[in-house]
Amino acid sequence: MRVLVTGSHGFIGSALVPALAAAGHRAIRVVRGSPGPGEVGWDPTTGTLNAAGLSGVEGAVHLAGESLGARRWNPEQKCRIFDSRVKGTALLCRRLAELEPRPRVLVAGSAVGFYGDRGAQQLDERSDAGTGFLAELAQQWEAATRPAEDAGIRVVRIRTGVVLSPRGGALQRQLPLFKIGVGGRLGSGQQYLSWISLDDEVGAILFALDTEGLAGAVNLTAPHPVTNAEFTKTLGAVLGRPTIIPVPRIGLAAILGGEAADEMLLGGQRVLPKKLLEHGYRFKQPELEPALRGLLGR
């Protein structure tokens, strides 16, 4: 299958592209700036996408978007985050809908932030949307895929949790502190963390591309979410380091801003991958401690 990939140089995309090749697919990268051989250029901010480069595409994986934690949230940064996801998705989906023949499938990024801060409530794909900036963002991000769906393309909206890998993302940022023994729970530590290993994130995306009956919202999270306190204790045990220094809200707010700290780190969701399991996906790393030991070579 010829598969278009946005965000192909990002944390998840850079692992997905070689996995696509290993599975017998041909990845076509969508990139900003001047495209190289086998790449397609686009600029979501100006609404441009080289439609000629999309000819013959049979599937697409859309992962592009401004990092949520790259900068403190202010009105301008929140607008950049919003536009990079919603406008970029709408542009891509309009162009895919115009193709003839059209791609068979689009796997489009979303996030468990869709559900908002829900405490210990168990959530699956039937659960209602929550409130807050991230929940509103995810709702409009998913709604922007409508042109592709209306054109008859099978759309899988992947609501991804926290992706674990020492090569990027939240775990890479935490490891230096935990390794020197100053890692600790965030706030009360009772907020749930819905996590997934990078291997399973990539595996689930490939599964979504190939599984004809899978469509709509699909949670990409491991089957056993944990609280932040449980995650902290487990990571410390794997590394053989103490985790006794909690990080108060005031410290997180000073770094990220209060709204971002509350939504990204102090709020949480207990999300279950109901549809993945029902369709037969088998997790490589379903439990946190074995996953961390495998990821960290422990």
Which two structure tokens, joined as six digits, stand for 196? 């997934």
Per-residue pLDDT tens for 94-140?
999 999 999 999 999 999 999 999 999 999 999 999 999 999 999 99
First vs last C-alpha separation in the chain: 37
Q: What confidence category does residue 70 fall into, taking pLDDT thresholds of 50, 70 and 90?
A: confident
In this prediction, residue 51 has a pLDDT band, given cuts at 50, 70 and 90, of confident
Sequential DSSP letters for 41-91: EEETTTTEE-GGGGTT--EEEE-----TTSS---HHHHHHHHHHHHHHHHH
Instruction: Please report the pLDDT score of residue 34 as a whole number.
Output: 85
Cβ contact 261:253 at 8 Å: yes
Share of the chain above pLDDT 70, in %: 100
CB distance 40 to 52 below 8 Å: no
Domains and CATH numbers, the chain: 2-296 (3.40.50.720)
Ramachandran bin of 141, using left for φ above 0, alpha for ψ from -120 to 50, beta for the remaining angles: alpha
Report how far residue 79's alpha carbon sits from residue 263's, in angstroms, rounded to the nearest whole number: 16
The residue-averaged pLDDT of 8-13 equals: 96
Report the percent of the chain where pLDDT is more than 90. 92
Residues 6+ apart with CB under 8 A from 41: 30, 31, 32, 33, 34, 35, 48, 49, 50, 53
- Two tokens, residue 291: 């996953």
pTM (two decimals): 0.96
Average pLDDT of the residues in 49-64: 93
